[in-house]
Chains A and B, each alone.
Chain A
């Protein structure tokens, strides 16, 4: 990053009123084991602001009805509120049309929808699917299943010791048999921000379709789908301060139109007879059954909340936190950061000499500090760095510099126990 952009970021980070923002998150006022909660596990799930909690409550209290069905007032209201989230997601992602946005349970279901519907229709024996060395299991296993079924081949873009993809190796992997390139935008285990624009352009030049896993990108950096132009992009609501069980899959219209439905049921049809069913238009063709209505409405409130703060301001503040945390952790003797890419967001993954991550996790928890320990659903990443697991502190815009200091002090105590 250039010095100028660093300065710009520093200025806007200083303007970010984190103490005011923390007032919006009730859980942050709680004590854990008698200590103020220091929540550093937002990459697993983000905490929820009152705006989201209240929207879900209000729906259940005054608007609760099924959507797309009744002519009565409550059904009209719930349908409008649910569909409004699609419009909000369109703005959040800068998508061309809201018909391209399909409600799913989360990123995992988004990827599975594509691997099952698009994949089964388009991947044949001998075809190749490219993923990367830093994928979450949810962007590995669905493609493995597809490859096994179709006798296709899974190829993997390697990475370097910093946790950056080797783009020259990627170029070599692309060939006329490449059907799909499915890569994460931001790595959950390492924090690496991948050059997805370049990855997408290269895939398109080779005639391949692209899917970007946006689970860790959507909460932290600007996602501009018209600029990136992927064929599919998916993210989870619960990582952008929304509720669990709701997410969005974006797809290119021509592909979505040609794909068979993922699940059959109510709401995804136009006409059903025992002989034949005509499917609904986009996006409803892919939305069988009563969806997570409350979740969808909660996600709308979450996207409003993020939009109100501004994703650029969030990114700038979090970047300042990440730099501060990187420096502070690097000063701890015996601590090794896992994932030191030049472009990073939110994640501080590390190992400590002679102390297993699970012991670190338990000892930090007793000091009120919540971190994730384990393989982060990315076992191949652990194998690459030759560690069984890491400790991961992941940041959000409601974290403070003081909380990073608390983490450092907590780790000193961990070292004392194992001294």
Chain B
């Protein structure tokens, strides 16, 4: 019934989120907030020589937003800043368009089911919007998905 949305990997990451902790030596951080649901997220990114060497998050949210943050952190490690921003665009496209699913996204393709739940797109993109804010400047303003 709803397994197109709540796929096993999403449920797994929502129950046992990876990289879910704060980071003392982060070089950038940003806050994300979805006023519609009350989902809150703080993202920590450590960049060395323009490469994301570590990324983590803390916060509270629904299964979709937590799993999205968790899977995002896994996918970003080792990527350059530019590659990370490109992934963001592709992820957004995956959720909001009917175009063919890009295989570059790896595990993140599990979120393609969100397409059919427009009310939940903001849940899945909160972490990514926050990432954009974190990568955008050194002292990022909190982002809101509204």
Residues 361-413 of A at the B interface (beta carbon under 8 Å): 362-363, 366-367, 373-375, 379, 382, 388-389
Contacts of A375 in B (CB 8 A): 38
Residues of B within 8 A of A354 (CB): 15
Q: Mark B1-25, 1 if CB is under 8 A from A, else 0.
A: 1100110000100010000000000
Contact A388 B40, beta carbon cutoff 8 Å = yes
Chain A contact surface mostly: mixed
Contact status A362-B117, CB under 8 Å: yes
CB distance from B70 to the nearest CB of A (A): 14
Residue pairs across A and B with CB atoms within 8 Å: the count is 50
- By size class, the interface of chain A is 10 to 19
Interface presence of B120 (CB below 8 A): yes
Check A418 for interface membership: any CB of B closer than 8 A: yes
Complex CA distance for A382 and B62, rounded to whole angstroms: 16
Residues from chain B with Cβ under 8 Å of A358 in the complex:
37, 39, 62, 64, 120, 123
- A359, A367, A379: which contacts B62 (Cβ < 8 A)? A359
Count of chain B residues near A, Cβ 8 A? 21
Question: In the complex, are the beta carbons of A374 and B1 less than 8 A apart?
Answer: no
Q: Which of B6, B38, B64 contacts A388 (CB 8 A)?
A: B38
Does residue B102 face the partner (Cβ distance < 8 Å to A)?
Answer: no
A4 at the interface (CB under 8 A from B): no
Q: Say if the beta carbon of B140 comes within 8 Å of chain A.
A: no
Cα distance A34–B40 when bound, in Å?
34
Whole-angstrom CA separation of A379 from B40 in the bound complex: 14
B11→A417 contact, CB < 8 A: yes
Task: Return B123 CB to nearest CB of chain A, in Å.
Answer: 6
A356's contact among B2, B5, B40, B63, by CB below 8 Å, is which? B63
With a CB–CB cut-off of 8 A, which chain A residues contact B60?
A: 388
Q: Which one of A366, A373, A389, A418 contacts B11 once the chains associate, using CB atoms below 8 Å?
A: A418
Question: What is the bound-complex CA distance between A367 and B1, given in angstroms?
Answer: 9
Instruction: Name the distance in Å between A406's Cβ and chain B's nearest Cβ.
Output: 15
Q: Which residues of B contact A359 (CB under 8 A)?
A: 6, 62-64
Say yes or no: is B61 at the interface (Cβ < 8 Å to chain A). Answer: yes
Query: How many Å lie between the Cα of A366 and that of B2 in the bound state?
Result: 7
Measured between beta carbons, the chain A residues less than 8 angstroms from B63 are: 355-356, 359, 418
Which residues in B have their C-beta under 8 angstroms from that of A389?
Answer: 37-38
- Say if the beta carbon of B100 comes within 8 Å of chain A: no
B89-133 interface (Cβ within 8 A of A): 117, 119-120, 123
Identify the interface centre among A359, A362, A363, A388: most chain B CB within 10 Å of its CB.
A359
CB contact list, A319-366 vs B, under 8 A? 354-359, 362-363, 366
Closest to A390 in B: B38
Chain B contact residues, CB within 8 Å of chain A:
1-2, 5-6, 11, 15, 36-40, 60-64, 66, 117, 119-120, 123
Given contacts A356-B66, A418-B11, 10 further A-B contacts (CB under 8 A): A358-B37, A358-B39, A359-B6, A359-B62, A362-B5, A367-B1, A382-B38, A388-B37, A388-B40, A417-B6
26 contacts between A and B (CB under 8 A): A354-B15, A355-B63, A356-B37, A356-B61, A357-B37, A358-B39, A358-B64, A358-B123, A359-B6, A359-B64, A362-B117, A362-B119, A363-B6, A367-B1, A373-B37, A374-B36, A374-B37, A374-B38, A375-B38, A388-B37, A388-B38, A388-B39, A388-B40, A417-B11, A418-B15, A418-B63
Closest 9 CB pairs of A and B: A356-B62, A388-B38, A358-B62, A389-B38, A359-B63, A366-B2, A359-B62, A358-B37, A375-B38
